[in-house]
Amino acid sequence: MDITITHNQNISSFFIQIVKIVYINTIILIFIYMIGKHKAFDQIEFDRSDPKARAVVKAYLKSFGLHYKDNPNECGIDLVGINTGDTIEIEHRWLWKGSIWPYLTVHIPERKGKFLNIKNINYVVVNNDFTYIGICLYENLKKYIDKVIEVRNSAIKEGEYFYDIPVDCFEWINLKEKELTMDDFVTYERN
């Protein structure tokens, strides 16, 4: 689309043309990234699970000499690698009890799509009692983020969409075998 001012246009009509283009592009992005219903944000649930899930993942990775910090952007990706150049999005799963992931695939909420196209993002799920994690590296994740499926669940009965990632794309880790103690879990503080 050509956006040059001709001798028949004035500055105000040119500005209106630009505003229309920006508006249309914004609407398109909203539909690309947010096509379904979403569970409402729950601050109490977030406060109960997010700090500990972050601490568990950071402690596990620190045991390999990999250091991460909390993203200062509270609406952004959860963790940013200090010495790795990658990022991590973490999700605590209350329904995952025990050691074995109970489903054939891992459903990543469609609302996380804004992060999943970022190169070098990794996705981690943490079980109910913070003793097991599943890590999906970007190389595996990117193969499955081109489409979403609608999934009925306890929070939203219909209209919620997810990326459907096979369980074999994840590395499943028993944190108890790493002999990490609560002393290894750094107290959560937003940077």
Q: For residue 106, give the CATH number of its domain.
A: 3.40.1350.10
Is residue 190 situated within a structural domain? no
Is residue 61 situated within a structural domain? yes
Same domain for 13 and 75, yes or no, is no
Distance CA(52)–CA(57), nearest Å, equals 9
Give 4-11 contacts, CB < 8 A, sequence gap 24+: none
pLDDT exceeds cutoff 60 at 22: no
pLDDT at 92 (0 to 100): 95
Same domain for 49 and 130, yes or no, is yes
**Comparing 134 with 157, which gets the higher pLDDT?**
134
Is residue 57 situated within a structural domain? yes
pLDDT mean across residues, the chain: 80
Residues 6+ apart with CB under 8 A from 38: 109, 110, 111, 156, 160
Same domain for 114 and 155, yes or no, is yes
pLDDT at 178 (0 to 100): 74
Count Cβ neighbours within 10 Å for each residue of 5-21 and write b for 16 or more, e otherwise. Answer: eeeeeeeeeeeeeeeee
Same domain for 74 and 18, yes or no, is no
pLDDT exceeds cutoff 80 at 21: no
pTM of the model: 0.74
Same domain for 28 and 82, yes or no, is no
Full domain range(s) for residue 13: 1-33
* pLDDT range class, residue 99, cuts 50, 70, 90: very high
Same domain for 80 and 151, yes or no, is yes
